[in-house]
Amino acid sequence: FSICLLLKDDNDLLPEWLAYHWHTIKLRHLVVAIDPSSTTSPRRIFDEWRNFGLNITTWSDENFMPDFFLDGQFDQVPSMIKYEDKNASRWTPGAAVSSVKNALINITDLPEHLRDDFTRINNHRFRQSRFLTECTKHLQDHNLTWMMHVDTDEYLTINPTLRKMGIAGNVTVPKQLAKNSVLTFLEKLVQLNSKVVNWPCISLPRLFFGSVEDGTDIGDDNDNGNGDNAMQAPSYQNEFNMQRFETLRWKYHADFENFKLNKLPKVVMDVSGFPHAALSEYSSKHTPGRVFSIHRPNVKLCRKGTQMNINVGRKYPLLVHHYIGSLQRYMAREDPRRTIEAYNLKALVKEGKDDSFMATWFPNFVDDVGLETAKRLLSDYATAPVEVPNGPPHNDAPIVLPPDSLRTNTYSGLSICLLLKASDTPAMLVEWLAWHYHGSKLRMLIIYLTDDFSSKQRQELDGIIAAWQQLISMVVWTETDIDGGQSPAHQVLQSIPDGGLDSNDGEQAAQQRIRLLTKCLGMMQSTSQSWFALLEVDQFINLHPGLISKVEWRKLPLGSVKPNTSNFLFHFLQEASSVYAKGLNYPCLSLPQILYGYGPNDVGASDGTNTAKSLLLSKLRTIQWRRRFDDAAIRNSDALKPVILVDANAFREGGRHDASSIETVLSKCRDPKMMDVSEKHKFPFVIDRFVGNQRNLEIADRAETEQASNEEDKKPLDIQSTTDQPLREWIEPWVGGFQMAVEGGRGGLPDANKLLLDHLRGLDRIEEREAPLRIHAAYHDQQGGGQEQRIDLPPLVKKRQQQNHDGTDADVFSACSLVKDDNDILDEWIAYHYHMIGLRHLVVATDDKSKTQPTKLLDKWRDFGMTIEEWDDHAFMPDFFFDPNKHHLMPRLAKIKKNKERWIGDVNDTAVVEHVVREINRHRFRQVTFLTACTKALREQNRTWMIHIDTDEYLTVNPVARKDKRFDGSDVSIPTGIHGPNIILDMLNELSSVLPSARTINYPCITLPRLLFGSVEETEEGEATINGGRNSSDRGGELLGLPKMQRSEEPPFDVFDRSKFESLRWKYHTGYNDELLNKQPKVVIDISQIPSDDKMLTDDRVFSIHRPSMALCRMQGQLEMERTDRFPFSVNHYLGTFERFNSRDDLRRNRKIYDGKSQLREGKDDGWMEGWLQNFIDVHGIDTVASLLQRYKRSQE
């Protein structure tokens, strides 16, 4: 759980607030913005909690407020106070009011004596909304989930109405506040009732607590805690002053419906369920670029504040206790809204009394962490002074913000001067840029060209700069820029081999080094940059390899220092240099170099999937080059001195940037001869330097000439015989993290993967994965001015399939299907998916009780070019499945208790019930086992997209999106009319390859809501006719109430009978969110992206056919078809006629069940499905299609 917290002189409340939420909601990540006017620092408290494992990030206003606000230009702050605001006159008597609804106050129009107070309140609201916006984005960037924004006088707890009932739906309410109890309760509710509680934005009504204690007196902080009103816990009464605890002291609260005192709600949000643009794009037209309000951050996803009712526990299972506290506490803040009169109006509230539920958290917390730890974390609440080991003194000194807070521009982050040689390839540069942008928060780059670049090389460089300029501020220098052309640039490079530390290379070289460093440092200081380094393109800043398996460095947690997290190195650098400045030798940090190379089998090694991602990973030096050179030889080489990382702001001297400041910088750096890379407690950061399979030629040249100080430098360096696999596995996720970080709208660069691949291709001639399979090679005639002409292919011509290098078929769509007497609908199902999604590989398992076999039908599709495998149960089921005496070994997957009435009605015969359960359980076990085996088989054959649906289900585009002709939050358009081949596959590939849509649709496991179609048809006159009744038939529409429409002679129905096509015949469906009829969703998965350790592959069976992977797929109860950004595709599920429905031997299929579904008319299809058959004919010719779909032709009259 994460919390975004605004803090101002709250040290007296903070320890209890932290302890409570650490214990009850598993608070592990805290982002704090300290008010600039705060007079005390929370550092002592935070240090203790950091040591305990809480990840705390502290911000100042420079981290999230715009420049005009920082400069005091408050007239530019948008107005956030309304004329009719009922608080306006209370804040400042005589404030103007207006009858115009939602009219905003123009502060400059107010009388002068009112402006200061209103400006302060307006600034406060603006600062709140900006902080919550940026904090939420920050948490999204770090792939976190639950978060909320509450104050230190507010505590998240369980709704008291539910506590009284003891149950919320099917979820038991905890009887006390045990460890993580509130979080566990929340997650169970969301899993079962996500729609009811309004996931992912769950409103939290507030309940106001006054300062009345059991003696009906107003509480006074001068009470020593030993009087009649003191709250005491017998086990700890001698250890803690219980009167200090807000949650234990105050019991009386306002009425549940007293909105005047309880005020607007807060919210708890699952930020992983928010589209990345949700906090700005969907906030409000009045609040562009920031949340709508702290009470309702998103107007589309969050409920209105006026909808709150604590008594409706099923909608509002959690709430916030808001404690006013004592008068001394209340008046401690300088706030025009806080007066003694205002306090007295609230303090005496006694409309309800809390039970003892809240008091249970503290003894449970002490039992969990231990008494001594509790006393240390809550030292201010202890009855006797507590000595904090190795901690700072107990004082609340004025805030001293870390050096990072001095930055005031948009390039806050790391700055680098990069020495670029003409021999450095574009691929090397792009990987270097991506790594440092993602991990080190590279935001300003000076590229110094060390030698002459050809026009082609400069053109390539300009192209890279143009692509990255929107992310990183860049400037290119040549020797003229730093030296007036007095000395060749390559001499400057040689004089500064690594970071500019060597001072023994002659006076001339030293002067050259000073000029370059002076120029770079001056640029950093003039633009208010902070951290700065001088690197080459083969040098990568990284975490010390000895720390990758550690949970902390010194006392700082390393839980969030992971390569898949944006700016993971920079954030750790800020925190480490602030807390352990002396130990790191701030402001000049030394980064030892570690050399890496590769062996004969390392470079280009792929995971076998042949996807764009695997090709990308196989060519990145940061992942593949992980054989380490001998450290001792490196340390002894003058050519490989450590790199320095400097805080430029620490050396500002009135804006002067002369040689003396450079000398001051160097004087503050460690002696390189005194450094040992193994001392990770001193050097948590290192330089990974990638030099290939032997010593880099330039380094070797230096070692053999003037840079070599001894014979040892001239010897070849030893390299490890194997790859450092743990380091490689730890670092590999950075690519995915980088792609997420640069998604569209948050940083530009919408296709980072493509950018990297394009430049890698230039170095290694990598072939990017070819476009998705197209089977209509002859469809477009490129002759005759590019005019498209239809070419009818001969019947049953086997299409040429694209192939991988090993001869296997390339990127095709695959399906796993269980069939049972489905020959009457199987041809249409195959033809539709062949045409619409590029289905080319089909694995079929025929039920052993099927009366018909599909082999002959499938043979013609094999001749048409498809790969079709037919499995019997022995190919994938365990041996005990075939032994009736061992069926008890099957896992229990059928739940008769909740389904009995639907399955067998009023039958109570034990034998019948057991038989039903056994057969249904057998069926479900067969389903999940088949899907598991089929997935593994397709993955071994390098397949990508895979789906498991039945033959009465059709993958299509979400009908809500079709109506809008677009998907929410995406530029991918949805064509109307006749559909070209693979149209759904094309949209699927486009959405999954472009950020942010890939993240939003949950790639690689994309959920497909199902939509049930009944047996209501439409006549030519547009009237609906209910079919599938007791006298209905499947014969060509003769008895179906469709006399004219079905006998139309317009193509293609001059040849085919519409009434025989499930996808064309049925038009009326249930409501989009009718979970009872639509049932659980299906999924489409890119199986090439399933991690090898996912339980979907390692276990004997998938979790379920609706959610094969618990790790990759969404929870099943989170479906809203209106959310087309999350669910761009859906599945049409056709009930069909009663004859068809009842043809299977299935106890769950009967007339009662059918009649309950067949008469659906809650919605009507838009006709989008109509186009597939005609276009399938256009591509392949009427003769070919007629041969494939023989049974669907019109009857001869």
List the single range of 106-110, 467-471, 948-952 with lowest mean pLDDT: 106-110
Residue 590 is classified by DSSP as: E
Residue 323's Cβ-side half-sphere holds a number of Cα atoms within 13 Å equal to 25
Contacts of 277 (CB under 8 A, 6+ apart): 745, 746, 969, 996
Asked, as a colleague might, if the bond just before 726 is cis with ω within 30 of 0, I would say no
Residue that wins the pLDDT comparison between 995 and 238:
238
List the single range of 328-337, 499-508, 875-884, 1063-1072 with lowest mean pLDDT: 499-508
What whole-number percentage of the chain has pLDDT above 70?
69
Helix (H) and strand (E) counts for the chain? 42, 38
Residue that wins the pLDDT comparison between 947 and 614:
947
Q: Which long-range contacts (CB under 8 A, 24 or more apart) does 177-181 make?
A: 177/23, 177/24, 177/357, 177/358, 177/360, 177/361, 177/364, 178/360, 178/364, 179/23, 179/364, 179/368, 180/23, 180/24, 180/25, 180/26, 181/24
Instruction: Name which of 621, 605, 600 is nearest 719 in CA terms.
Output: 600
pLDDT interval class at 174 (50, 70, 90): very high
Average pLDDT, the chain: 74
The enclosing H or E element of 736 equals helix 734-741
Which tens digit of pLDDT belongs to each residue from 401-453?
A: 233 322 233 346 888 989 888 878 777 888 899 899 889 988 889 998 887 88
Q: Where are the beta strands (DSSP E) in 740-886?
A: 813-819, 839-846, 867-871
User: Is residue 1074 over pLDDT 80?
Assistant: yes
Looking at residue 1134, what is its pLDDT?
95
Looking at residue 1023, what is its pLDDT?
54
Residue 420 is classified by DSSP as: E
Which tens digit of pLDDT belongs to each residue from 582-594?
A: 788 888 888 988 8
How far apart (Å, rounded) are the C-alpha atoms in residues 514 and 510? 6
pLDDT interval class at 795 (50, 70, 90): very low
Q: What is the mean pLDDT of residues 605-610?
A: 44
pLDDT interval class at 526 (50, 70, 90): low
How far apart (Å, rounded) are the C-alpha atoms in residues 961 and 937? 34
Q: Copy the structure tokens of residue 794.
A: 């001969």
Q: Copy the structure tokens of residue 438.
A: 């993602």
List the single range of 690-699, 718-727, 931-940, 1066-1075 with lowest mean pLDDT: 690-699
Which tens digit of pLDDT belongs to each residue from 973-1009?
A: 787 765 678 889 988 888 887 666 777 888 899 999 9
Which tens digit of pLDDT belongs to each residue from 681-703?
A: 888 999 998 876 443 433 433 43
* Burial bucket for residue 873 (CB in 10 Å: 0-12, 13-18, 19+): middle
* Burial bucket for residue 942 (CB in 10 Å: 0-12, 13-18, 19+): buried
Looking at residue 483, what is its pLDDT?
57
Residue 152 is classified by DSSP as: T
User: Is residue 236 over pLDDT 80?
Assistant: no
Residue that wins the pLDDT comparison between 122 and 117:
122
Contacts of 467 (CB under 8 A, 6+ apart): 749, 755
Residue holding tokens 């899993």? 191
Residue that wins the pLDDT comparison between 232 and 1065:
1065
Contacts of 602 (CB under 8 A, 6+ apart): 624, 625, 626, 627, 723
Residue that wins the pLDDT comparison between 688 and 227:
688
pTM here is: 0.41
95 close to 118: Cβ distance less than 8 angstroms? yes
For 589, phi then psi, to 5°, come to: -90, 140
Which tens digit of pLDDT belongs to each residue from 57-106?
A: 888 887 888 888 877 787 788 876 654 444 444 444 444 444 434 455 66
pLDDT interval class at 384 (50, 70, 90): low
Looking at residue 1062, what is its pLDDT?
95
Looking at residue 20, what is its pLDDT?
95
Residue that wins the pLDDT comparison between 767 and 117:
117
Which tens digit of pLDDT belongs to each residue from 482-494?
A: 654 443 333 333 3
How far apart (Å, rounded) are the C-alpha atoms in residues 108 and 490? 60
Which tens digit of pLDDT belongs to each residue from 319-351?
A: 999 999 888 778 776 666 677 777 888 888 999
Strand partners, 446: 417, 475
Which tens digit of pLDDT belongs to each residue from 349-371?
A: 999 998 889 999 999 999 899 88
Which tens digit of pLDDT belongs to each residue from 10-46?
A: 888 999 999 999 999 999 999 999 887 777 778 889 8
Residue that wins the pLDDT comparison between 351 and 632:
351
291 close to 129: Cβ distance less than 8 angstroms? yes
Question: Distances in Å between the alpha carbon of 740 and those of 138, 290, 511?
Answer: 12, 20, 44
User: Is residue 679 over pLDDT 70?
Assistant: yes
What whole-number percentage of the chain has pLDDT above 90?
22
Residue 416 is classified by DSSP as: E
Q: Is the dihedral of CA 445, 575, 12, 252 positive or negative?
A: positive
Contacts of 471 (CB under 8 A, 6+ apart): 437, 742, 747, 748, 749
How far apart (Å, rounded) are the C-alpha atoms in residues 714 and 701? 9
